[in-house]
Structure 1
Amino acid sequence: MFLLPHLALLLILTTTLFEAFANLDLATLQLLNGSRATDLDFLLLTLTVTAYGLGALVPLCLYLAGHFRRMASLKLKAYQYVFAMGLNILFIGLLKYTVDRPRPFITHDTIEQIAEASSPSFPSGHTAFAFTAAVVLVLMFRSPVLRGLMLTWALLVAYSRLALGVHYPSDVLGSMLLGSGAALLSTYAFRKHREQFYTLLRRSRNLKIVR
C-alpha cells in the first residue's frame, strides 16, 4: 500500500513526459514541413534518393579500385561497407514492422506529404542508410574534407525526410543512431579480424596488401 502513491506519481510523470515529447516531436515536424521553401521540393526529393544511390555506388567504386589497382585494402573496405549496410538493413527490417508506427501525414492532417511513403514510419530507412554510409567512410578515411562532406550530406538527407513530411524527428534521430551503430559494429568486426580477412584476400591473384 505504501508504494501505490509513489507508483501513481511515477506513472503520472511518465505519461506527462511522454505527452510533452510527443507534442514537441509533432511541433518540430510541423515547423520544418510547413516552413520549407516549396520551390526546393524537387531538390529535397533528389537529395533523399541519394541515400540509396550512394549506398550502392560506394562499395562498387571501392571494389573496382581495389581490383584495378590490385590493392586488397580497398577490396576489404568494400566488404566492410557492404557488411555495415547489411546490418543496417537487418535492423531496419526488424524495427519497421515491430514498432509499426504510422506515418505523420496519416495521423495528422497538418502535415503535407511530398514524397511517396508506404511502409511504417520508424525508423527512417533513408536516414539510416545515409548515416551508415557517412560514418563507415569517416572511420575508413582520414581526409577532413571527405569526412565533412559525408556528414553534411547525411544531415541533409535526414532534414529532407522531415521537410518532405514523411517522418517524425524522433524517427530520424533514432535512425541516425541506428545507422551509426551499424557502421561502428562493422568497423569493429573488420578491425578485430583484420588479419583473417587479409589472409583470405591474399589468395586473390596479384593483390598488394597496402594498409
Structure 2
Amino acid sequence: MTRFFLFLFLLFSTTVFPQNFDINTLRSANLYRNENLDATFKTITHSYAVVSIGTPLTLYAVGLINNDPKLKKEALFIGESVAASVFITIALKEAIKRERPFVTYPEIQKLTTAGGYSMPSGHTSIAFATATSLSMAYPKWYVIVPSFGWATAVGYSRMHLGVHYPTDVMAGALIGSGSAYLSYKINTWLQKTKKKEIL
C-alpha cells in the first residue's frame, strides 16, 4: 500500500497540472529571494554530506571507544537509512528522468553545482533519512526539532539555489523518511529472526 501511494505521488508530481505550482513556487524562492542569504543557503545545502556521513561515523566511533553495542547499533541504523535513501533516489532519478528547472526554464538562476536529473532531490532525501533515523533512535524533542529543522532547510536551499522544483524536494523528503522507516522495519524483522534461531 505504501509503495502504491509513493507511486501515485511521484506520478502526480511529474504531470502537467502541478507544473504551474512547481515553477511559480520555484520562481518565488529563486528569482525573488533575499540575495543576502545566498551564502547561507549554499552552506546549508553542502552540509548534507558532512552531517549525514559524520553523524553515524561519530556515533559508531564513540560506541567503539566506550564499548557500547547499543550506540554502535544506532549508528549502523542511521547509516543504513542514508544508504537506502541514496539507492532509491538514484534509481528513481534514472527512471523518471526529469530535467533540472534551470534547463527547462532558463530564467531560473542556478547558484550551485547540480548534476543528473531533478526528481527526486537527493540532498533532501539524504537529509530527511538522517533526520528521521536520528529522531527514531533518539526520540527526544531536542533531537527531533533541530534534526527536521535542518533537513527542511536543506530542502528549501535546493529551491533557493535554483536546482530543484518544490515537488522534487517533497518527494525527497518522503523518500528519505520512508527509507529510515524501512530500515527500522527490516532491522526489527532481522532481530526477531535471530531470536527465533537462538531459541
TM-score range, shorter chain: 0.7 to 0.9
| 1:129 matches 2:126 | yes
- Structure 2 gaps, min length 5: 1-14
Quick check: which has more Rg, 1 or 2? 1
Given the alignment, which residue of 86, 98, 114 partners 1:117? 114
- TM-score, reference length from structure 1: 0.82
* Whole-angstrom distance in 1 between the partners of 2:183 and 2:194: 13
Q: CA deviation at 1:195?
A: 6.1
What is the correspondence of 1:1-211 to structure 2 with a 5 Å cutoff? 18-194=15-191
Q: CA deviation at 1:197?
A: 7.4
Provide, for residues 76-112 of structure 1, a one-character-per-residue CA deviation record: whole Å limited to 9, x for no partner: 1111112111211110121111111110001102211
Provide, for residues 173-193 of structure 1, a one-character-per-residue CA deviation record: whole Å limited to 9, x for no partner: 111100011000111122333
* Whole-angstrom distance in 2 between the partners of 1:193 and 1:74: 18
**Number of the residue aligned with 2:11:** none
Which residue type is aligned with residue 141 of structure 1? Y
* Whole-angstrom distance in 2 between the partners of 1:197 and 1:170: 40
CA contact (8 A) 1:76 1:197 kept: no
* Whole-angstrom distance in 2 between the partners of 1:142 and 1:131: 15
SS where residue 122 of structure 1 aligns? coil
Which residue type is aligned with residue 37 of structure 2? L
**Number of the residue aligned with 1:208:** none
- Structure 1 gaps, min length 5: 1-17, 199-211
Distance verdict in 2 for CA 1:40–1:146, change over 3 Å: same
Which residue type is aligned with residue 110 of structure 2? Q
Consecutive aligned runs of 4 or more in structure 1 exceeding 4 Å deviation: 195-198
The alignment's C-alpha RMSD in Å is 1.5
Count of matched residue positions in the alignment of Structure 1 and Structure 2:
181
Q: CA deviation at 1:196?
A: 6.6
Provide, for residues 106-145 of structure 1, a one-character-per-residue CA deviation record: whole Å limited to 9, x for no partner: 1102211111112111111100000000000111102211
Identity among equivalent pairs (%): 32
- TM-score, reference length from structure 2: 0.86
